[in-house]
Copies of this chain bind each other. A is one copy, B any other.
Amino acid sequence: MLNQRAATLDAADPLAHLRERFVLPKGVTYLDGNSLGALPAAVPAAVDDAVHRQWGTDLIRSWNTNGWWEAPVRTGDAVGRLVGAAPGQIVVGDSTSVQLFNTLVAAVRLRPGRRLLLTDPDHFPTDQYIADSVGRLLGLEVRRVPAREAVTVLAAEGDQAAVAAYAPVDYRTGELYDMAAVTAAAHAAGALVHWDLCHAAGALPLQLDAIKADFAAGCGYKYLSGGPGAPAFAYVAHRHQPGFDHPVTGWHGHTAPFSMSGTYTPAPDVTRARIGTPPLLSLVALEAALTAFDGVAMEAVRAKSLSLTGFFQHCADQLLDGLGFTMATPRDAGRRGSQVALRHPEAFPLVAALAVRGVIGDMRAPDLLRFGFNALYLTHADVLHAVEQLRDIAATGAHRATELQERPTVT
């Protein structure tokens, strides 16, 4: 039954051809693309060219002749197409933590006098650490308000809020929040919004411009499949570009960088968000990786993603009943990102035992099994296979017999 259903869904999948745009290792069912996306087929040749020809042969001249100087903005625009941002509002470079920090400081500074920074107690740890750091640097109180209460709190007592810093997708449970509603509530209170898009960019359609988002940042290595530690991106809405004021002021953000002036005069546009020389080998990989999205509508990605996650939930209902699992991810498609999390008291050995069988997911302490679904390269057959393996392990107790010393994987 489930086999037939998977086959039917895969046969009707309009994105099935995209799997060929990735290099997937044999014998592996990869459900951890929400930590590190699989290798896009376009990447190796691009990196090889960057190493041998651009660096090795053209050397320093590559800044001019191989487009290195423009890469952060050019790649930013490519990300923009996937997140609903018109060109000229995104730069790529530096790590996610840095982009979060830089843009959050910039956002807070645009609301002087307001002493409250709202963030999510379920936000990814770095987001919370950065919010606390920014709050301390700029003298704001950081208040943790769950995403699902943010609209209410902003409406009731948002008049002192400078910025509401949230993510559209809970990184553990995959729960999806209403970006438009939170953004509108922040604006109604006179505050700005700051979005962490790590678990959303490339996974579902985003409309940064349409919902009037202010600042956002996100990583390149999850659903964008840009490679380990791929440079992150920063979004600054056009209307904030002439005035935003960020703290990591590198010379690439200067209005006339080659003047080598000792005084920082920021560029009037999004290039102000540039910092210094980006990690170009990693950036070249990301730019090549983004071509996997060529000709693909994010709405189609979303439709398939929901089909995959919905099918996973269906398979889990059918196959895991009575084995101690509970569903942590909403069943309502409108409240679900592109991952499914299950709770089980033996989450860690279960995930480890799955890995031994070639099914790669990850876990979050204490009890969460987390499976991410990249619609560009996964099939419904992959989904069924993963749940079947999980059932076999849980039913036979194979995870208890396995010596598993692996550290939890990196988000």
Whole-angstrom CA separation of A184 from B23 in the bound complex: 56
A316-356 contacts to B, CB under 8 A, are: 355
How far, in Å, is A177 (CB) from chain B's closest CB?
18
Q: How many A residues are at the interface, by size bracket? A: 35 or more
Are B60 and A409 in contact, CB atoms less than 8 angstroms apart?
yes
Whole-angstrom CA separation of A340 from B261 in the bound complex: 21
How far, in Å, is A285 (CB) from chain B's closest CB?
6
Q: Quick one: which of A52, A101, A407 has the most chain B CB within 10 A?
A: A101
Are A228 and B281 in contact, CB atoms less than 8 angstroms apart?
yes
A251-287 contacts to B, CB under 8 A, are: 251, 254, 257-264, 275-283, 285
Residue of B nearest to A120 (CB): B262
Task: List B contacts of A282 (CB < 8 A).
Answer: 229, 279-282
Chain B binder among A121-129, A202-210, A233-241 = A121-129
Whole-angstrom CA separation of A294 from B260 in the bound complex: 35
A19-69 contacts to B, CB under 8 A, are: 23, 25, 28, 30, 32, 35-36, 38-39, 43-44, 47-48, 50-52, 54-57, 59-64, 68-69
Are A407 and B249 in contact, CB atoms less than 8 angstroms apart?
no
Are A125 and B276 in contact, CB atoms less than 8 angstroms apart?
no
Chain B binder among A297-305, A306-314, A360-368 = A360-368
Residue of B nearest to A276 (CB): B97
A231 lies within 8 A of chain B by Cβ: yes
A227 lies within 8 A of chain B by Cβ: yes
A408 lies within 8 A of chain B by Cβ: yes
A94 is contacted by which of B50, B54, B94 (Cβ under 8 Å)?
A: B94
Task: List B contacts of A262 (CB < 8 A).
Answer: 121, 123, 125, 128, 144
Task: List B contacts of A48 (CB < 8 A).
Answer: 44, 48
Are B95 and A275 in contact, CB atoms less than 8 angstroms apart?
yes
Whole-angstrom CA separation of A347 from B365 in the bound complex: 61
Are B129 and A250 in contact, CB atoms less than 8 angstroms apart?
yes
Are B260 and A364 in contact, CB atoms less than 8 angstroms apart?
yes
Are A56 and B39 in contact, CB atoms less than 8 angstroms apart?
yes
A130 lies within 8 A of chain B by Cβ: yes
Are B101 and A261 in contact, CB atoms less than 8 angstroms apart?
no
Are A227 and B280 in contact, CB atoms less than 8 angstroms apart?
yes
Whole-angstrom CA separation of A264 from B25 in the bound complex: 37
A360 is contacted by which of B61, B121, B260, B364 (Cβ under 8 Å)?
A: B61
Residue of B nearest to A125 (CB): B251
Are B32 and A59 in contact, CB atoms less than 8 angstroms apart?
yes
Are A129 and B365 in contact, CB atoms less than 8 angstroms apart?
no
A113 lies within 8 A of chain B by Cβ: no
Task: List B contacts of A228 (CB < 8 A).
Answer: 50, 54-55, 62, 68, 277, 279-281
How far, in Å, is A118 (CB) from chain B's closest CB?
14
A93 lies within 8 A of chain B by Cβ: yes
Residue of B nearest to A34 (CB): B60
A97-132 contacts to B, CB under 8 A, are: 97-98, 101, 121, 123-126, 128-130, 132
The 9 closest A-B CB pairs, nearest first, are: A97-B250, A279-B282, A97-B276, A279-B279, A228-B280, A39-B56, A129-B264, A129-B249, A229-B280
A-B contact pairs, 14 of them (CB 8 A): A23-B52, A35-B60, A38-B56, A44-B52, A59-B360, A62-B228, A68-B410, A97-B251, A98-B248, A125-B261, A125-B264, A126-B250, A128-B263, A279-B279
Please give the residue numbers on chain A whose beta carbons come within 8 Å of chain B beta carbons, in ascending order.
Answer: 23, 25, 28, 30, 32, 35-36, 38-39, 43-44, 47-48, 50-52, 54-57, 59-64, 68-69, 93-98, 101, 121, 123-126, 128-130, 132-134, 137, 144, 219, 221, 227-231, 247-251, 254, 257-264, 275-283, 285, 355, 360, 362, 364-365, 406-410
> Knowing that A68-B228, A126-B249, A227-B281 are A-B contacts, what are 11 other residue pairs whose CB atoms are under 8 Å apart, sorted by A's residue number?
A30-B59, A44-B48, A44-B56, A69-B407, A130-B248, A130-B250, A132-B264, A228-B281, A229-B279, A258-B365, A277-B410
